[in-house]
Structure 1
Amino acid sequence: MTNTALITGSSRGLGLALARSLAGAGWNLVLTARDSLPLRAAADELGALALPGDVADPAHRRRLADAVPELDLLVNNASALGGIRPLDAFPLDTFRGLLETNVTAPLALVQETLPVLRARHGAIVNVTSDAATGSYAGWGGYGSTKAALEQLSNVLAAEEPDVAVWWVDPGEMNTAMLAEAVGAEEAAGAADPAKVAATLHDLVRSRPASGRVNLQ
């Protein structure tokens, strides 16, 4: 039986690195991200199905669910940063958008795919951040959405004993998102996403009990 994974935010960074790792192990992949050109390039490279779109769009989430009548792994990796700024100056419209992308969309996609994940005793990976638990000045908007995602994951794990649920802190990685936050020079010293993805793939393969996982 060939395993199938749906990975959001898979045109770059950790999502793309994990897709490459899983493809090397023979997984079928459905990839999605907002930027269609790099997403289609990744799909062509890996022999995957590309479905460009925004996970905050309910119609797009429905298309994703329809594309995976059999599903073994859902990876909620797509997220938005919203800028690094103090909470007293954080635009509320931006914060609402972060909640939609970083919290509502992963939960909604879980709801869309849970029936097939239950049937195949599948797994869910919700990618979080140390900003969910640390009091880092300027990171309150993003971090609070990741904290909400962690608690959703925690409760989901209790409610779904037949589905593995891991909320995964990948640590700092040399990605475009980190470079946006701290600058390219500092980001260049962070971990290679490919190495982090290999550790995440090992997690999926070994299937430990549901819970929070630090990958670095």
Structure 2
Amino acid sequence: MPVAIITGASKGLGRALATALAARGWDLVLDARGAAALREAAQSVAGHGTRVEALAGDVADAGHRAALVAAAGRLGGVDLLVSNASALGSEPLVRLAELPLEGLRRALEVNVVAALGLVQEALPLLRRAPGGTVIAVSSDAAAEAYATWGGYGASKAALDQLAAVLAVEEPGLRVWAVDPGDMATDLYAAAVPGDGDPRPAPDTVVPAFLRLIEERPAGGRYAAPTLLERR
């Protein structure tokens, strides 16, 4: 069975993607900071008959990243690494003039440094996997200038660049930065509380991720809404 590591997997897009992969026979290593929510998500996913290792912790912690990769190794390796865990930098979001620098450091640490650290930890197993793949979950805020989204957007722009360079440096892997588009998630609710505009559920964009995994296009940056339109 192929093995995937998914960070930020207790809810939202991470959980939806884990559920879809489990239904397709993938074994999973799931991460999130909240132990109770992660345990519940893992139990739900395991209902598909897949093997699931759920490790609660902070991806910014090097020891936790090592534990995630070790768990995947026990399951057989790492075929897919999905960096989905994210930090906003401020909740709710604020303009750059008011953005706490500690918040910006946290966003960079989680969204960029930890993502690269996990790739570095997993690279030996990814290189050995037939079709080793890395997905960095990005945002349209990485490419567009939205008021109050500056810190978060800057961290995602940096993540996009890391993914682009990794694709060049590791030609044996597939590396994609994927903008999932607007979604109704707890992260968005924390970023913009009280925004009543309807947004699609995370599971509606999962088919875009599955399409990438199945079709394996060249490394690069992809937008889920565009992939879904091509179906």
Q: TM-score, normalised by structure 2?
A: 0.90
**What is the total number of aligned residue pairs between the two structures?**
214
Match of 1:212 in 2: 221
Correspondence for 1:54:
58
Say which SS state the counterpart of residue 191 (structure 1) adopts: coil
Q: Tell me by how many angstroms 1:183 deviates.
A: 2.9
Matched letter for residue 56 of structure 1? A
Residue 45 of structure 1 corresponds to: 44
| 1:22 equivalenced with 2:21 (yes/no) | yes
Conserved 8 A contact 1:179-1:186:
no
Aligned to 2:229: none
**Is the CA contact (8 Å cut-off) linking 2:89 and 2:105 kept in structure 1?**
no
User: For 2:56, what is the secondary structure of its paired residue?
Assistant: coil
Q: In structure 1, what is the equivalent of residue 6 of structure 2? A: 7
The 3-state SS of whatever aligns with 2:30 is: strand
- Secondary structure of 1:138's aligned partner: coil
How much has 1:185 moved relative to structure 2? 4.9
Alignment-mate amino acid for residue 4 of structure 1: V
Matched letter for residue 43 of structure 2: D
Matched residues in 1 for 2:139 and 2:102: separation? Answer: 22
Provide, for residues 71-103 of structure 1, a one-character-per-residue CA deviation record: whole Å limited to 9, x for no partner.
100000000112211111111111111111010
Task: Check if 1:171 corresponds to 2:171.
Answer: no
AA of the residue aligned to 1:33: A
SS of residue matched to 1:56 = coil
Question: 5+ residue gaps in structure 2?
Answer: 47-51, 226-231
Runs of 4+, deviation exceeding 3 Å: none
In the TM superposition, residue 132 of structure 1 has moved relative to its aligned partner by: 0.4
Aligned: 1:114 with 2:123: yes
How many angstroms does 1:184 deviate by? 5.2
Corresponding residue for residue 72 of structure 1: 79
1:135 corresponds to which letter in structure 2?
A: A
Given the two structures, how large is their TM-score scaled by the length of structure 1?
0.96
Aligned partner of 1:138 in structure 2 is 148
Q: Label 1:184 to 1:87 Cα distance change in 2 as closer, same or farther (>3 A).
A: closer
The percent of aligned pairs where both chains have the same amino acid is: 50
User: What one-letter code is carried by the residue in structure 1 that aligns with 2:88?
Assistant: L
Aligned alpha-carbon RMSD (Å): 1.1
Structure 2 CA distance for aligned equivalents of residues 54 and 135 of structure 1: 29
Distance 2:121 2:216 in 1: 22
AA partner of residue 86 (structure 2):
S
Q: In structure 1, list runs of 5 or more residues that go unmatched.
A: none
| TM superposition shift of 1:186 | 2.6
Q: Give how far 1:198 is off.
A: 2.1
Partners of 2:195 and 2:221 in 1: how far apart? 30
Instruction: Tell me which residue corresponds to 1:200.
Output: 209
Give the alignment partner of residue 167 of structure 2, picking from 124, 138, 157: 157
